[in-house]
Structure 1
Amino acid sequence: MQARELTCKVASLGAWGSYFDSWATLQQLMQGGALPDAKNKGPKPEVIPPNERRRAPLPVRLAVESSWQATQSAGVTPDALTCVFVSGLGDTDLTDYMCKVLASEHKELSPTKFHNSVHNAPAGYWTISTKTMRAANSVAGFEQSVSLTLLEAMIQCESESVPLLVTFYDAPVADVLSPLLANQEPFAFSLVIYPGSADIKGIALSATVSNSESVSWPASPSENSYLSALYKDNPSAKILSLAALLSDDTVSGDKVAMPLSKGASITFSRL
C-alpha cells in the first residue's frame, strides 16, 4: 500500500559536531574540505541563561545550539515554531549515573541530574529559554530515529499547517555502554520546515511512505572518514543522508530512501 505524498519546505538548517559548528562548515566537510586541526570544545548556546547553561548536560547543549542556529538563519522567532526533538540514545551518562547510585548503599540522586535525565530535557530547556508556548514532542527510535521523526514532523507540518523546528542530537555513549554502542562523537542537526504551500523561500521536499518495501540505510553520503564514522555510529547522524539531498549542488529530482521498520520505508525527493 502506498501512502499519499507529504510535502514541506526547508527554510533553514543548523548543525554542530566535533569538527563543525554550523551548517556551512558541515557542508564544507561534506564537499571534501579538510578537517580542522583541533576539535571543538563543546557548544555553548547563548540562548540558555548562564546559570542554567553551566548545569546543562551535553545532549541539551547540542540540541539547543543547532536549534538556535536554524531559527536565527530562518529569521523566525522560536515562539512561532512547534518543535520535534529526537535522540536515538538519550543521555547515557546520566542513565549510567542513576543506575550506579540506585544500586549503591546511598540512593540519594542529585535533583539536577535527575531532572536533566528525562528524554524531553532538551525540549524543556529550549522552550523555557526561548519562552515559547508551542507544543514540543520528544521522540526516540534508536537506529530509526531520524526516519521516524521526519515522518512525524512532516505529517504534523502538513496536517496542522504549522511551521516546525526539527532537531536531531546524540552525544557520545557512557563508557559502560561502549561495548554495545559504538558512538563516541557528539552531533546535532536542526531544520526549520514550513508546509509545502507556504509562501516562503526554501527547498521543496516531498516524502512518500511504502509499506511493501524494506530498505537499508543509504551508504555514507561523504567520503570523509570522520563523517562516515559519524554516520555509521551516531543514530542522529543518519540525517546526513538527507543533508546531502539538501546541499546547494543537489538538483531537483534526486531521492533518498530510509527504513522506518521491517517492511516499511520512506523516500524523500527534492522537488
Structure 2
Amino acid sequence: MQAKELKCKIAGMGAWGSYFDSWDALQQLLSGASLPDTKNKGPKPTIIPANERRRAPLPVRLAVESSWQATQSASLDPCTLTCVFASGLGDTDLTDYMCRTLASEHKELSPTKFHNSVHNAPAGYWTISTGTMSAANSVAGYEESVSLTLVEAIIQCVTEHKPMLVTFYDAPVADVLRPILSNQESFAFSLVIVPDDAETDGIEITAQVNVTNQQTWPALNSDSDYITAMYNANPSAKVLCLAELITTSNGNTSVVMPLSQCTSVTFTRT
C-alpha cells in the first residue's frame, strides 16, 4: 500500500558541524575531502543580537546558523517561511543541569537556563531574531526525527502551497548520558523547500510514504570515518543520506528512510 506522491523543490541548504561551517564545506567532505586540521569551536550566528547570542546554548546557535545559511542560499526572506525544527536529543546539557539542580538541596533554577531548556527554544530564537510571524513547529522523534520532520514539512509545503524552512540539529550529549547516547559531534542541517510549481529554482524531490517493515537506515556512500560515525550516532545527521542523494551522481535516484515500526518514506530525486 502506498500513499500519494508529494512533490516539492529544495531551493537552499545550510550546514554546520565540527569540521564544516557551510553546505559547500560539508559537500566537500561527502565527496572525500580530508578533514581540516582543527575543529570549529561553535557557530556565532550574527542574526541573533549580541546580548542574546552570548546566552544562547550550542543547540540554538547550531540551528539558527544553518537556518540563516539556507534562507540566504535560497534568496528568500525568512519572514516568508513557515518553519519546522527537529532535534532527536534536545539540549542534554540543560536537561542534566535541571535534573541535578532539582535533586539538590538548593533547587533554584537559572531563569535563562530554564527558558533555554524547552524543546522549541531554537525555533523561538529564530522567529524572534528574524521577525518571522509564520508558524514554527518543533519535532522530537529520536532516531526517526529526520524522516518524521521531512514528511511534516513536505505535507505543509504541498497542502498549504507555501515555502518551508526545515532545520535539524543535535549537539554532543552531556557526559552523564554518554553510556546510553553515544553522540559526540555537533551537527546542523537546513533545507528550504518550495512547492514544485514555484518560480524559485531548486532540486525536485518526490516523497512517498509506504507500509513496510523496514526499520533500518540506509548505508551512506561516504568512506569517511567521521561522516559515518556522525551519521550513526547523531540523530539529526541521518539527513545525510538525503544530502548524498541530492548532491552525488553515483546512479542512485532514491533513498528510503524508516518512519515508524510499520512505515517508511521514499525520497526520489526527479
What TM-score do you get using the length of structure 2 for normalisation? Answer: 0.98
Q: Which residue of 2 aligns with 1:11?
A: 11
Determine what percentage of the aligned residue pairs are the same residue.
69
Q: Which residue of 2 aligns with 1:219?
A: 219
Alignment deviations for residues 180-199 of structure 1 (CA, whole Å, 9 cap, x no partner):
00000000000000011212
Q: CA deviation at 1:263?
A: 1.5
Matched residues in 1 for 2:144 and 2:86: separation?
A: 10
Partner-residue secondary structure (3-state), 1:214? coil
Partner-residue secondary structure (3-state), 1:168? strand
Matched residues in 2 for 1:70 and 1:112: separation?
A: 28
Q: Which residue of 1 aligns with 2:43?
A: 43
Alignment deviations for residues 53-94 of structure 1 (CA, whole Å, 9 cap, x no partner):
000000000000000000011111100100000000000000
Q: Which residue of 2 aligns with 1:158?
A: 158
Q: Does 1:61 find its partner at 2:55? A: no
**Range that drifts further, 56-65 or 193-202:** 193-202
Q: Which residue of 2 aligns with 1:138?
A: 138
Q: CA deviation at 1:214?
A: 2.0
Q: Which residue of 1 aligns with 2:267?
A: 268
Q: CA deviation at 1:221?
A: 3.2
Q: CA deviation at 1:228?
A: 0.5
Alignment deviations for residues 143-163 of structure 1 (CA, whole Å, 9 cap, x no partner):
000000000000010000010
Partner-residue secondary structure (3-state), 1:42? coil
Matched residues in 2 for 1:75 and 1:8: separation?
A: 17
Does the CA contact (< 8 Å) of 1:221 and 1:240 recur in 2? no
Structure 2 matches for 1:1-271, cutoff 5 A? 1-247=1-247, 249=249, 254-271=253-270
CA RMSD of aligned residues (A): 1.0
What TM-score do you get using the length of structure 1 for normalisation? Answer: 0.98
Q: CA deviation at 1:215?
A: 4.2
Matched residues in 2 for 1:78 and 1:201: separation?
A: 17
Partner-residue secondary structure (3-state), 1:221? coil
Does the CA contact (< 8 Å) of 1:173 and 1:183 recur in 2? yes
Aligned positions, number: 270
- In the alignment, residue 82 of structure 2 is paired with which amino acid? T
Alignment deviations for residues 97-136 of structure 1 (CA, whole Å, 9 cap, x no partner):
0000000111100000000000000000000000110100
For the structure 1 residues 195 and 250, does the alpha-carbon distance in structure 2 shift closer, same or farther, using more than 3 Å as the test? farther
**Range that drifts further, 205-214 or 107-116:** 205-214
Q: CA deviation at 1:34?
A: 0.6
Does the CA contact (< 8 Å) of 2:215 and 2:260 recur in 1? no
Partner-residue secondary structure (3-state), 1:206? strand
Matched residues in 2 for 1:248 and 1:31: separation?
A: 8
Does the CA contact (< 8 Å) of 2:87 and 2:236 recur in 1? yes
Structure 2: segments with no counterpart, 5+ residues: none
Q: CA deviation at 1:249?
A: 3.4
Structure 1: segments with no counterpart, 5+ residues: none
Partner-residue secondary structure (3-state), 2:259? strand
Does the CA contact (< 8 Å) of 1:215 and 1:257 recur in 2? no
- In the alignment, residue 103 of structure 2 is paired with which amino acid? A
Partner-residue secondary structure (3-state), 1:185? coil
- In the alignment, residue 178 of structure 2 is paired with which amino acid? S
Partner-residue secondary structure (3-state), 1:147? helix
Partner-residue secondary structure (3-state), 1:223? coil
